[in-house]
Structure 1
Amino acid sequence: MSTNVKRGLWAVLLLACIAAVWFAVRGGLALGDTPISAPPSAASTSASSRDTASAGPTPTERSSSASATASSASVTTSSSAPASTASTGNAVASAPTAATSAPAPTTAPATPTPSEAPSSSTASASGLLTGLAAPWEDIAAAPVHVAVYRGPDRSAEQIVGASIELTQMRDDGEINPTPQTVGWYGPPQWSTTPGERSGYPGVLAGHIIHSGSKDVFYRLQEARAGDAVVISYDDGTQAAFRIQDDAVSADKTAFTQDEEWVWAWKLDVPGNAVTLITCELVEGSGMTGYSLNNWVVQADRVA
Structure 2
Amino acid sequence: MNDRATAMRRRLAVALLVVGLLAGGSAVLLWSATRSALGDVPMSTSPASSSPTAMPAVPVAPTPSAGPTAPATPTPAPLQDIAGTPVHVTVLQAGAPLIDADVNRIQLDEDGWLSPDQGLAGWYGPPQWETVPGNLSAYRGIIVGHNVTGYGTKDVFYDLGQVRAGDSVVITYALQAGGYATAGFTVTQDAQSAPKQDVVAQAATTYRWVWQVDAPERSLALFSCDLDAPHIDGHSVDNWIVTAVRVS
- TM interval, shorter chain, is 0.5 to 0.7
State the match for 2:220 in structure 1. Answer: 274
Q: Name the SS for the 1:187 alignment partner.
A: coil
Q: Name the SS for the 2:23 alignment partner.
A: coil
> Once superposed, which parts of structure 1, at least 4 consecutive aligned residues long, lie more than 6 Å away?
none
Contact kept? 2:161, 2:192, Cα under 8 Å:
yes
Contact kept? 2:82, 2:135, Cα under 8 Å:
yes
State the match for 1:241 in structure 2. Answer: 185
Residue 160 of structure 1, CA deviation: 0.2
| CA gap 1:267/1:209 in 2 versus in 1, 3 angstroms | same
Residue 287 of structure 1, CA deviation: 9.5
| CA gap 1:53/1:188 in 2 versus in 1, 3 angstroms | farther
Greater shift in the superposed pair: 268-277 or 163-172: 163-172
- Over aligned residues, Cα RMSD in angstroms? 2.8
Does 1:252 pair with 2:191? no
State the match for 1:294 in structure 2. Answer: 239
Task: Name whichever structure is richer in helix by fraction.
Answer: 1
Does 1:195 pair with 2:139? no
State the match for 2:106 in structure 1. Answer: 167
Question: What is the aligned-residue identity percentage?
Answer: 38
State the match for 1:64 in structure 2. Answer: none
Residue 173 of structure 1, CA deviation: 2.4
Contact kept? 1:203, 1:276, Cα under 8 Å:
yes
Contact kept? 1:230, 1:241, Cα under 8 Å:
yes
Equivalent-residue separation in structure 1 for 2:32 and 2:123 (angstroms): 28
Equivalent-residue separation in structure 1 for 2:6 and 2:219 (angstroms): 15
Does 1:88 pair with 2:24? yes
Unmatched 5+ stretches in structure 2: 11-21, 34-72
Residue 117 of structure 1, CA deviation: 5.5
AA of the residue aligned to 1:138: D
AA of the residue aligned to 1:87: A
159, 167, 172: which one pairs with 1:232?
Answer: 172
Equivalent-residue separation in structure 1 for 2:9 and 2:231 (angstroms): 31
Does 1:56 pair with 2:14? no
Contact kept? 1:55, 1:265, Cα under 8 Å:
no
Residue 239 of structure 1, CA deviation: 0.4
Equivalent-residue separation in structure 2 for 1:201 and 1:288 (angstroms): 30
Equivalent-residue separation in structure 2 for 1:144 and 1:190 (angstroms): 16
Does 1:223 pair with 2:163? yes
Contact kept? 2:8, 2:128, Cα under 8 Å:
no
State the aligned residue count.
Answer: 187
Q: Calculate the TM-score normalised by the size of structure 2.
A: 0.68
Q: Name the SS for the 1:207 alignment partner.
A: coil
Q: Which has the larger radius of gyration?
A: 2
Residue 282 of structure 1, CA deviation: 2.6
